[in-house]
Amino acid sequence: MTTAWLLDSGAGSAAFNMALDEALLEAAPSLDRALLRFYSWSEPAASFGYFQRYAEVEALTPLRPLVRRPTAGGIVPHDADWTYSLIFPANHPWYALRAAESYRGAHSWLQTAFSRLGLAVELAPCRCKSQPGQCFSGHEKSDLLRHGRKIAGAAQRRTRDGLLIQGSVQPPPEGLARADWRQAMRAAAPFAPPVQWLDFPPGPPLHKRALELAAAKFASAGYNRKR
């Protein structure tokens, strides 16, 4: 039986949401297995890719606050989306995948989950150029499409500690419930079946580290405006 961690961290601020993902990536060597995190946003916000220029982002979205992600990619609106993260330690098979393979793997996982809910979606076969900096105005190869429109994208970061994938889903208009989607994600996990999901206990040290990163980095104007 394959075991994996499951963390539902609830609603958080933009800075804390990014900080917890980075803290989990730092802690990846001690996880010893994959971790799936579900979370939401305590206020409307927009995240933007690590390499984007703040002045350009500021002009492209009215959403505030703006927070620089630890991963790359474009602007993602977080006013109604469903967000998740995947963290893999360096000894996990997904860590050895090339970036294009792990990206496709995450969206194939989503595709299977939506299929379980009776929603037909497809992986983008190629790139369709988006408006400057806007993640959901076009699509990249292997993004998730519904009737040709992008409904899910992701961004990645690999370090010596592990692999972090941050994903965002724009809820389809069919009225699916977030709770049903989360259950389908657990059932559709692309690991050797059956998968036993273990509740992940964040613990005080990890929570403290996330709060430190939120205050010193992700809520800092110096970090968010660094380029």
Looking from the CA of 78 toward its CB, the CA atoms found within 13 Å total 30
Q: Which residues are catalytic?
A: 135
CB under 8 A, 24+ apart: contacts of 138-144 = 140/103, 141/100, 142/100, 142/103, 142/104, 142/107, 143/107, 144/107, 144/110, 144/111, 144/114, 144/169
Distance, CA of 92 to CA of 111 (rounded, Å): 22
Give the count of beta carbons closer than 10 Å to the beta carbon of residue 160. Answer: 7
CB neighbour class for 225 (10 Å; exposed up to 12, middle 13-18, buried from 19)? middle
Distance, CA of 85 to CA of 38 (rounded, Å): 7
Distance, CA of 6 to CA of 201 (rounded, Å): 9
Q: Phi and psi at residue 14, in whole multiples of 5°?
A: -60, -45
Amino acid type, 10: G
Map tokens 């979205």 to a residue.
61
Distance, CA of 141 to CA of 128 (rounded, Å): 8
